[in-house]
Structure 1
Amino acid sequence: MRIATLFALFLLAPFAFATTCVECHKNVTPNIVSDWQLSKHAQNSIDCSTCHGSDHTSKDDVNEVKLPTPDTCKMCHSQQVEQFSKGKHAFAWAAMKAMPTFHWQPMVTTEGMKGCGGCHKIGLKTEEEIKQLKAQGAGFGVASCDACHTRHTFSTVEARQPQACQTCHMGFDHPQWEMYSSSKHGVRYLLKQNGTLPEKTAAPTCQTCHMQEGNHEVRTAWG
């Protein structure tokens, strides 16, 4: 009887923990809670502690919360993370830091993942870099995956839309969105989205060419 009781408590513990998180964060970060409740994570009982750990239990120990990295996502999505690690997105952070012009910018425009870092944060980082970013106050932006599957819905439907790429691939220095959205590919897809063209209309997205068959090893047409 005692063993059965302990086993039941073991099974119920994560749900109790999730309830505690939700009740508090409904007041502190209500949009995070509502997004999570809409997610596949919530539907499959993936609670807060799965990704953030269970050390943070009150406002007095906020620093104990674990911020997810690709390794966190890899626990469940190993194939996708392995693929991602080989693609161009994974090298975005290193590529930014390798650019001399990045280091010439005033610190006020680059600290805390501002400026270039706002998009290049999708790249993989070392543990030391993550520690440095956290020390600078940039606690977010180390997960990589949430650049396309934005938290806390983590929606594959969202990540498959060309607008998921628009946030970063735009502007005078890399106007891929402007080129795509004004091309026949982009125009036809946007017309599909607003219902002008039928749902079954052929209209490639960014992902059609750069993530063929859902492969997260994002590549350009030339490699």
Structure 2
Amino acid sequence: MKNGRIALQTTFFATLVLLTCSALFSLAYAAPKAQMLKPFASLSDESKQCAACHKEQNPALYQQWGRSKHYGANIGCFECHQADPNDADAIKHEGFDIAVIVSPKDCGQCHNKEVEEFAASHHAKAGQIIGSLDNFLAEAVEGQLSFNGQSPAAVSGCWQCHGAEVKVLANGDLDPTTWPNTGIGRLNPDGSVGACSACHQRHEFSMVQARRPEACGKCHLGPDHPQKEIYEESKHGINFFANVEHMNLGSAKWIVGEDYDAAPTCATCHMSATRELPLTHDVGARISWTLRPAISEKVDAKAIAQGKQVKPWEERRADMKNVCSACHTSGWIENFYTQFDNLVVLYNEKFARPGKSMMDLLTKNEMLTEVQFDEEIEWTWFYLWHHEGRRARHGAAMMAPDYVQWHGMFEVAERFYVEMVPQYLEVVEKAEHAGKKEQAAEARKLLDEILSRPEHAWFSGKEPADIKQKRQEAQKAFKQRYQSESK
């Protein structure tokens, strides 16, 4: 009996410890608690004065505000733009101390939950691009520091999506190289990071507008991250545009499967509420792979390597699967993720890791100059991972087959075999002639080892005979079929 009691006590305390740890773990990732917002009884005298003037001076701005929920809650210009005289960007305007920039710190006075979630997101870090290859391209390769010490290409290009560090000139004006700017990771004079207006455009701040894919498409499009185009090709995008009138975009809670069922948008998958999940402004909370770098890794890998505790990729994926489950069965979802994972692994192992190891060796052995993009192979490698490689991975993530194939892996393969390998050998041969015999031998050995792998057998001429024969038979049958159809 005593042993039974001890066993029972042991089980009880073990369970208690487990529950306590689980509770603490949950608290570590607990969402900030939102304030209960109530409208003001009336519009403030300050905002009445602002509105009276702006109605005449900026009628479109006034009308946008008039359609907003802010207007309905008696929140006017002054409530958002008021400033302390000691603020870095404070100015005197018609007798009031105001700031032109409304930062997340200002929005957070009411929308604290959203601002706290955003601050923990990858979006909040988007402005930290100084030192990146992208910024070097915009500053040096494409541009010159001719605009108040900055490159016009960076000011009107990269920074408009990533965000600029907004600077205040000695006379109190905002530096035109950094303002206007609604980049998602903007560094504001008040020390806050981000721009809510990147997604919630002034001055209507419409939920409908922010929930549509075009809101994300301002930045997530183009040759290096064409999520907008990929979405439009996917069945999700096709369904959205065909059934937009059924999307109930103005719903207050907008829960997929309850308030709408025609299609998901970017917001549905990455941010919006489900029957089990709350809305979040941490856009990475449901992403399991990072598809941005040359070699993809699970989204928590870098943090783990730095000894940080973050939401594990498995939990993020489980949350995304929860979104999917509103429309898809578990078998469908599991098989989709198996397809997606295999494409990422294929890209990583066949092209990205070999390509990076080749570039790393050339750099280590000083076969390349210290200057980026002054040699052809550096452009080739950049295109391979930064453009084509991303397109393939994002295409798989969002179910756009043409971006996986013709805009993606086809171009990755062409770039690797037809451009990168010959250029690599040219660099090695040049180094060899310059007297770097040992380094050149090491580089040749690496390439030989890479091309001897089974996945490159077709290129090296070492493909197994049975596989080669099957392919030739299939090609012959295909050719005969189409020849007979053309008669």
Q: TM-score range by the shorter chain?
A: 0.7 to 0.9
**What amino acid maps onto 1:136 in structure 2?**
P
With 150-159 and 62-71 compared, the bigger mean Cα shift is at 62-71
2:69 match: 40
Equivalent-residue separation in structure 1 for 2:176 and 2:215 (angstroms): 28
**What amino acid maps onto 1:215 in structure 2?**
T
Equivalent-residue separation in structure 2 for 1:212 and 1:18 (angstroms): 32
With 213-222 and 29-38 compared, the bigger mean Cα shift is at 213-222
Q: Secondary structure at the match of 1:135?
A: coil
With 64-73 and 171-180 compared, the bigger mean Cα shift is at 64-73
Query: What is the aligned counterpart of 1:25 among 35, 51, 54?
Result: 54
Distance 1:203 1:67, change over 3 A: same
Query: What is the aligned counterpart of 1:108 among 131, 148, 152?
Result: 152
1:8 match: none
**What amino acid maps onto 1:186 in structure 2?**
G
1:135 and 2:175 correspond: yes
Equivalent-residue separation in structure 2 for 1:37 and 1:92 (angstroms): 32
Query: What is the aligned counterpart of 2:115 among 67, 70, 81?
Result: 81
Equivalent-residue separation in structure 2 for 1:57 and 1:211 (angstroms): 37
Q: TM-score, normalised by structure 2?
A: 0.38
Distance 1:38 1:97, change over 3 A: farther
CA contact (8 A) 1:69 1:144 kept: yes
Give percent identity, aligned residues only. 35
1:192 match: 243
C-alpha deviations, 1:159-182, integer Å up to 9, x for none? Answer: 111121111111122111100011
With 76-85 and 207-216 compared, the bigger mean Cα shift is at 207-216
C-alpha deviations, 1:80-122, integer Å up to 9, x for none? Answer: 01101111111111136634323324212223xx11111112x
Alignment of 1:1-223 (within 5 A): 15-53=44-82, 56-58=92-94, 64-95=98-129, 98-99=132-133, 100-104=136-140, 105-106=142-143, 107-111=151-155, 114-121=156-163, 129-132=165-168, 134-136=174-176, 138-141=179-182, 142=186, 144-193=195-244, 200-213=260-273, 214-219=279-284, 220-222=287-289, 223=299
Equivalent-residue separation in structure 2 for 1:194 and 1:96 (angstroms): 42
Q: Secondary structure at the match of 1:87?
A: coil
| Count of residues paired in the alignment | 199
Distance 1:192 1:119, change over 3 A: same
Pairwise CA RMSD: 2.7
CA contact (8 A) 2:213 2:266 kept: yes
Deviation of 1:157 (Å): 2.2
Equivalent-residue separation in structure 2 for 1:115 and 1:173 (angstroms): 14
Structure 1 unaligned residues grouped into runs of 5+ = 1-10
Structure 2 unaligned residues grouped into runs of 5+ = 1-40, 84-90, 144-150, 187-193, 247-258, 274-278, 290-298, 300-487
CA contact (8 A) 2:138 2:153 kept: no
Deviation of 1:65 (Å): 3.4
Equivalent-residue separation in structure 2 for 1:79 and 1:110 (angstroms): 32
CA contact (8 A) 2:47 2:79 kept: no
Equivalent-residue separation in structure 1 for 2:61 and 2:92 (angstroms): 16
Deviation of 1:45 (Å): 0.9
Equivalent-residue separation in structure 2 for 1:135 and 1:64 (angstroms): 17
Equivalent-residue separation in structure 2 for 1:97 and 1:152 (angstroms): 34
Distance 1:84 1:97, change over 3 A: farther
C-alpha deviations, 1:117-147, integer Å up to 9, x for none? Answer: 11112xxx7xxx3335823361443561111
Equivalent-residue separation in structure 2 for 1:201 and 1:139 (angstroms): 38
Distance 1:221 1:35, change over 3 A: farther
Equivalent-residue separation in structure 2 for 1:117 and 1:218 (angstroms): 20
Distance 1:170 1:47, change over 3 A: same
Equivalent-residue separation in structure 2 for 1:72 and 1:136 (angstroms): 22
Equivalent-residue separation in structure 2 for 1:85 and 1:202 (angstroms): 31
Equivalent-residue separation in structure 2 for 1:34 and 1:130 (angstroms): 28
**What amino acid maps onto 2:115 in structure 1?**
V
Higher relative contact order, structure no. (Cα contacts within 8 Å, ≥ 6 residues apart): 1
